[in-house]
Structure 1
Amino acid sequence: MELFACAGCDTPLTTEVTQVALPGHTHQVWGNGVPLPALLEAGTYVVDPEPSGPPWRRWAEVGAAEAAARGVFAPVYSLSFGVPGTIGLAPGDTRNTVLVPEPSGDACCGQDGRDGPNLFCAGCHRPVATRIDDCSYWQVVWLVPDAVRRLPAPGPAEPPADWPTLLREREGIPPVEPSGMWDRRWEAELGVTLAHLLAACAGAPVGVPEGLLADTLGRVLTVLLPGSPEKTLALAGPGLPAPDADLVLVPRHPQTGETWSPPGEATLVPLAADVWIHLAFQQNRPLVPTIKGDLPEAEPPRLPYSFFLPDTRVFLRTLARLPAVREPWLRAIYDRVSGVPCWRPW
């Protein structure tokens, strides 16, 4: 565990926190006027390796060669030339900071962070972080790397949980909210996975097993890669038998970010652990009776009111950062999806 202090006056700025992997929905923007909860669990932090915040430069100004050197291989609206390595944590884990909100023409209900740091050290009044809490954004505080110092917390460091421990302690994320809407994290995380899956399949149509996986990825894969399936897809990971498939969806460790690696020659496609756990162990679980009065009643399943669509912004953001997008067939998919506002496969 660590804590972060002001680099100017050593005032502690956070409580003790433990590093975890950057979630796939970190940069998700979802629905105007929709409040989103905290991006991270209390007591955790992440490091975003990419530059963030102002100044911004348009793609035409940056150019393909300079963008590729930065790890972006397809056109995007703009690129940040701010400081890389910002440190994200839950807003409740900050200490000794003062919010100085700046007016923003794009913000609606709070702070969207586009104008730079808005949290100042209470000790020396240096700008140290940016709080984001506007609607449509996951709530998070981003510490400015150059403005803070990382200090070790007292006591021994706890090692990351192994997979048996994670499977015992985590139940996964249900795909559908009580309102009937698909869970926003599923939309984002499967947007990440779809990008990696397209890069891995080399343009061959992919057959998806029936069930929730077909309901979420199957429809969009049929549109993007039409034709008779040439490659097969299956789940693989801890606690599952080894599948006979060309492509396997494997969990990404929520603390380390490392992808589970099984034996065999199948091509690995990463998937967020909490989504993978539900697909692997929860989707066919019998309904659990609940007690109402004297009679047990089965809790009805949550059914979505629309077809599933992976988050297109997250999908495009991920795909633009995969070198495989330079392949003509995959670049054509990228251009097709990015060229239509609110793209839908149906």
Structure 2
Amino acid sequence: MSVLVLYAAIFSLINLLQNDDSTKEERPSKRVRSDVDIDPLMSAVLPDPSSFSDPKIWKGHQLESPLLLNHRPSTANGVPITLSHPIFARFQELCNSCEVNQGECDFVTSVMDPFKDEDNRREKFIEIVEQYFRRTCERTFFGKTHTDGCITMRKGLLWIPLAILEVKPELGIGSGCPYVQATAYYGRYIVDGLSEAHKKDHEQLWYSSCCPTFLIYLTGPYVGIAGASMLLGARVFCALKICLSELETYYENLKFISKNDNIPRQAAFPYIQEIDFNDVTVYFSYLKRIANKLLKFLMKLFGCQNISGGMDDGDYGICDLDSQMKKKGGDIMFM
């Protein structure tokens, strides 16, 4: 089983947020997955996140058939993150545009001080996170292990993580990579949920959504938001504060849908599911990825009643989102 970038909805920001050239083509690796892998079975036994953060451990799981498509190593990649959910394109936009104030600057400078151990650094960071975001950040159990901190929201009987926090005391001190460990906690959430008592509700959430979540990882004074480094400084936290509220609104308004064995789980595909054609909006469902093509998909059309030109509901087409990385709009070919 693999937790795709589509599920994590945060992992490939390490490329997108550190490169202003948003039109750069995403080149698939030699291990690009075929359509049979895009919605993997929820059957994997994931390692403990703290041990998984050790490169001696994670490389054994990640080299051939990655459990987590988190770009560790670089061949563990997937669909670009901004195509999995619009909240991440929004975050990227805000990182370049939002205006910061003294609060954001104080937030960033407060992590520069030394601390005697990881617990002290974590407690101080959680304190300023809670003050700045005005949200509770608690150590949350994912299965039998717990995070350094987690910002959650309630939807019905479910607790949903908006952000997961992992802390290491300083560079060179503390075992493993905090980024990899945070991705492993997310993997545990996708597989196990936060409560065994509400497993069925969690499965319905997973079927209805790509489950977007932000990762915050701190090593000494160096803060990352799923790959957005301190180079972005205070603006990153300003953007994250806005996006956490917008992400919470997304989950609040999310309508659960029941599993349909005749249609693949749409949340495992890019969120783009409509296109304007001759001034009419055409909708489509994804069926599968075209083998060895990272951003080409077979789709099925509906909502074609008002279109002239021979297109009907149920017709098939190929959606080519490779061009989305180079120009506005994707290419749609009808069959």
- Report the TM-score, using the length of structure 2 for normalisation: 0.25
> Whose radius of gyration is greater, 1 or 2?
1
Q: Which one scores higher on RCO, CA 8 angstroms, separation ≥ 6?
A: 2
